[in-house]
Chains A and B, each alone.
Chain A
Amino acid sequence: MSTHVPESESESETGAPEQTEEQIPAAQQRRLAKKQERSDQREQRAESESETDEQTVHLKVFRYDPEVESKSRPRFDDFHIPFKKGMTVLDALIYSRDHYDSSLTFRHSCRQAICGSDALFINGAQRLGCQTQVSDLDDPVRIEPLPHQEVVKDLVVDMEHFYEQMDAVDPYFRDEDVPSGLEEQNQTRENREKIKMSTRCIWCGACTSSCNIAAGGNYLGPAAINKAYRFAMDDRESDALQQERFETIEQENGVWRCQTQFSCTNVCPKDIPLTEHIQELKREAVKSNLKFW
């Protein structure tokens, strides 16, 4: 990938203008509206459903275990479980495991969209199991491991590559002259607001899994670039260090590979405007006259 995307063009193409002070709340409003819409739908459905008696959910769950002969050929298992109002996909998986098949394997922990361990491919989209209401989905609910990652067992994928990409951007705060003792490195509210969304990443890997480009080669991927953004835009790091960060994300496997397809932004469970962040970094890179590939 070596196309030069001029600043103006990239804006019109993506329809994602640079975030300005007033627009941040607008973006939040949009997200909130989306949530409200979903919860309204849920309510409607719950109302219509409460008229029928015992409801069941039909899950089709991907199974694979290289070690166990009967499971070494990938297949789907069906589970029919009683539906309860408020049930999430994760609840449904736990129910299936605890009541029907204790070997059913998946990662999960927090049940509240913060640990990032249960990103799955649910009815054809990357989502967190714990954050997805069963009632929002068409029956049967098809649950598969994240695409583009090696399957370890059942719904568990190997995350090593994802972690390596995160490591590749020097994902830690660096500054040479941090004040001593109780003195703080002051940060403006505006600057904190600017990096806020980027700091929300929970490393679930949904974005990378949804990205065609990340699937093929060694593209850093949206999560790692977002991590770089988080530090590059933090005014507490010195200008020289920020410049170094631009160099990292500008490399061959960096921002220029992004084709602004928005798949990452669409699936991110923390609503991080990933594509916007990547576009903004491209612009910054152009501004600072760095070479691009």
Chain B
Amino acid sequence: MYKHDVIVVGAGGAGLRAAIAAHEEGADVALVSKLHPVRSHTGAAEGGINAALRAGDSWEDHAYDTMKGSDYIGDAPAVETLCQDSPEETIQLEHWGMAFSREEDGRVSQRPFGGLSFPRTTYAGAETGHHLLHTMYEQVVKRGIQVYDEQYVMELAVTDHADPEERSCHGCIAYDIKTGELNGFVADGVVIATGGPGQLYAHTTNAVAQTGDGQAMAYRAGVPLQDMEFVQFHPTTLPSTGVLISEGVRGEGGILYNSEGERFMFEHGYAKNDGELASRDVVARAEVTEVEAGRGFEDDAVHLDMRHLGDERITDRLENIIHLATDFEGVNPLEEPMPVKPGQHYEMGGIETDENGATCIEGLYAAGECACVSVHGANRLGGNALPELIVFGARAGRHAARSESVVPQIKTGPSAKIEDSDVESPVALGLDEESRADIVADGGALLDATAEDVVTHTLEQEQQRVETLMERDGVNHAEVRSDLQQTMTANVNVFRNEDGLKQALRDIHACRERYRDVGVSDPSRTFNTDLIHTIETRNLIDLAEVLTLGALARTEFRGAHWRQNFQERDDEHWLKHTMVAWNDGSPELYYTDVILEGEDKVYEPKIRSY
């Protein structure tokens, strides 16, 4: 059993920032991560970090752009916090030595990005995330913060009070990948920073490790998941792998063409003013529409051309793109256009938190892509995720160290509920009658016991779970995962309709049933990736259900969520957050208010046109 004041689960940008912040508050903090920190997916981020740094720009403008980008489903207190804190956090990285690209005068460079009214995207080549991740890991090493790497966190140790708002989190259980031992971690504060669930989809820009573990664990422990139906599909990913071609390419002047050589963003009226630089959802839909109209390449792609920018400018600012296109698509973008298509990229929703990263369970925090403070609402602007990591990572770390007690404006937990929803589902949600035990909240353990007891109890439960999986000879998780990804890609993608969503729910249900027979065939304890992937797959099933359910219920068109038959944003009925809570194994769907009142203004919903 390991003991620390604060445990941060996940060592990507958000986790590292949280750990540094907690450490600066004097807490004994440790990072527990299934990958070595420098292998985290934050390293893949390309384009940049939005921060209002320069004359002519202001945090207020950044906040306005973000609220508009969110299609008014972001919460103003969270958005304003993001925009107020980002400049300082970004410059903090510069002070830590991050290798930002530079202006002539030596100050950090900024560039234009989609949906922004000012070129405020601060960047380091087309590999901003790599630099950000390494810079923060360096600071973790400098401070001597304990890192437990290659430890897979399987479950949170939470008390089993009936009301989630009375529960408290005392630590977590991790599988030591190298030895196969299960370890208990006891802590006063646990920060989940496990990143997004991109592996829900077959075609994604996300790493293989992005399986939404933290979201699924928090969900089963009783924290609602918020706005999960809002999934961002990035308009420019390479067709064969899903590798991302940064928005920086369009920011620098890259042009999208259909197979008839038309600059369709303008010529077909998708975004008459901003063209290629319209919001991601707008561009992704335009591309799919072009392909469906028969104006695509190879039936699934359009072309992104940057040749006219000139070799020099490309090599200077976008060199990484040349390597990506050559290595992963066999195309040299200095000589020919790159084929691109939309791919799953970012999960706007996640673990419900307030501005301090706190969830409704005492001692449990979340930050980064796995969390939903609600800064991105229905659509995230490019360059707004990295500032989220550093701003809310730092806040969650500080608060988990219990050093601040600012009263948050965002309310969390079931008591924030404004109404229930009863959406008609084609299957019994979450249920799989024959073996309920397997799918019921596994985290819950012992009322009012000591922290150690709660962790020990959860540890025993998890040991049992591993034994069962290892002993059973059954279905390979990879088949189940692949089926799940296929149905999500077919039915819960850029375009959505009722039949498709219902089909997805049926398929997810079938995956759940098949998962009952899943077995780990590798008998080894050492580095058993078969076991880990099997547990991850279970997490993906839970998340797929939450996401699809929310999408089925939301009968409007907002941000990244497009519904056939509901082609209008419906502010009268849908200016609210979707919440899904784990209610004894059945997802319970309810809604909470969107907060449009900021510090000294109200963000009136306007038509989103670019």
Binding site for B on A (CB under 8 A): 25, 28, 32, 35-36, 38-39, 42-43, 46, 65-68, 85-86, 88, 97-99, 102-103, 105-106, 108-117, 131, 133, 152-154, 156, 159, 163, 167, 170-175, 178-179, 181-189, 192, 195-196, 199-200, 202-203, 231, 234, 236-237
Contacts and interface: CB of A to CB of B under 8 A. Distances in A.
A115 B207 contact: yes
Interface string B87-106: 11001001111011111111
Given A98-B478, A173-B135, A173-B138, A236 B529 contact: no
A39 B243 contact: no
In the A-B complex, list the 3 residue pairs whose CB atoms are closest, starting with the nearest: A173-B97, A186-B106, A103-B522
A196 B207 CA distance: 25
A103 B131 CA distance: 34
A237 B97 CA distance: 9
Given A65-B526, A115-B41, A189-B104, 17 more contacts: A36-B326, A46-B330, A98-B476, A103-B530, A105-B522, A112-B241, A114-B44, A115-B35, A115-B43, A152-B178, A172-B138, A175-B97, A178-B95, A186-B102, A188-B106, A189-B103, A236-B97
B134 A199 contact: yes
21 contacts: A32-B334, A35-B332, A39-B330, A68-B523, A85-B240, A111-B207, A111-B243, A112-B244, A113-B327, A115-B41, A117-B36, A153-B524, A167-B141, A172-B138, A181-B91, A182-B53, A182-B91, A188-B102, A189-B103, A199-B131, A234-B99
Interface in B89-147: 91, 94-97, 99-108, 125, 127, 130-131, 134-135, 138-139, 141-142
Contact of A116 (B39, B135, B520): B39
Contact of A196 (B99, B107, B332, B530): B99
A115 B53 contact: no
Interface residues of B, number: 73
B527 interface: yes
B521 A103 contact: yes
A43 B331 CA distance: 9
Contact of A189 (B102, B240, B329, B528): B102
Interface stretch (B166-174, B315-323, B343-351, B556-564): B315-323
Contacts of B446: none
Contacts of A171: 138, 141
Contact of B107 (A109, A174, A184): A184
A203 B38 contact: yes
Contact of A172 (B139, B241, B482): B139
Of listed B36, B39, B207, residue having the most chain A CB within 10 A: B39
A35 B327 contact: yes
A104 to B, nearest CB: 9
B106 A67 contact: no
Contacts of A28: 315, 319
B496 interface: no
B104 A102 contact: no
Contacts of B102: 186-189, 192
A195 B477 CA distance: 44
Interface of B: 35-36, 38-41, 43-44, 53, 87-88, 91, 94-97, 99-108, 125, 127, 130-131, 134-135, 138-139, 141-142, 178, 207-209, 240-244, 315, 319, 322-324, 326-332, 334, 476-478, 482, 520-530
B95 A179 contact: yes
A241 to B, nearest CB: 11
A284 to B, nearest CB: 19
Nearest to A98: B478
Given A39-B332, A112-B328, A199-B134, A105 B527 contact: yes
Given A66-B526, A115-B207, A117-B35, A102 B99 contact: no
Contacts of B91: 181-184
Contacts of A38: 326
Nearest to B319: A28
B326 A39 contact: yes
Contacts of B88: 181-182
A86 B35 contact: no
Contacts of A181: 88, 91
Contacts of B101: 192
B330 A43 contact: yes
Contact of A109 (B125, B209, B315): B209
A136 to B, nearest CB: 10
Given A111-B207, A114-B44, A184-B108, A131 B327 contact: yes
Contacts of A186: 102, 105-107
Contacts of B521: 102-103
B524 A65 contact: yes
A152 B138 contact: no
B330 A172 contact: no
Contacts of A106: 529
A43 B322 CA distance: 17
A233 to B, nearest CB: 11
Contacts of B142: 170, 172, 174
A153 to B, nearest CB: 5
Contacts of B97: 172-173, 175, 231, 234, 236-237
